[in-house]
Amino acid sequence: MKNTIRISSGTLRGKKIPFNFKDSLRPTSNKLKEILFNWIQFDINDSICLDLFSGTGSIGIEAVSRSAEKVIFVELNKKNYSRLVKNISTLNIKEKTKIFFKDAYLWVKNNDLSKFDFIFLDPPFNEDHELKILNLIQKKDLKSSCKIYLEYSKFTELDIPESLSLLKEKSVGDVKALLLSKNED
| Torsion angle of the four alpha carbons 31, 36, 41, 44, in this order, in degrees rounded to the nearest 10 | -130
Distance in angstroms (rounded) separating the CA atoms of residues 73 and 21: 20
Write the pLDDT tens digit of every residue in 132-170: 999 999 999 999 999 999 999 888 888 899 999 999 999
User: Which residue has better confidence, 159 or 23?
Assistant: 159
Which residues have CB under 8 Å from 143's CB, separation 6+? 114, 115, 116, 117
Q: How many helices (H) and strands (E) does the chain have?
A: 5, 9
Distance in angstroms (rounded) separating the CA atoms of residues 54 and 181: 20
Per domain, the residue ranges of the chain are 2-182
The length of the chain is 185
Write the pLDDT tens digit of every residue in 57-94: 999 999 999 999 999 999 999 999 999 999 999 999 99
**Fold of domain 2-182:** Rossmann fold (3.40.50)
**pTM of the entire structure?**
0.93
CB hemisphere CA count around 146 (13 angstroms) = 22
Q: Which among 39, 107, 40 is positioned nearest to 73, based on CA atoms? A: 107
Distance in angstroms (rounded) separating the CA atoms of residues 10 and 143: 26
DSSP state of 4: E
pLDDT greater than 60 at residue 22: no
pLDDT greater than 90 at residue 7: no
Distance in angstroms (rounded) separating the CA atoms of residues 164 and 79: 33
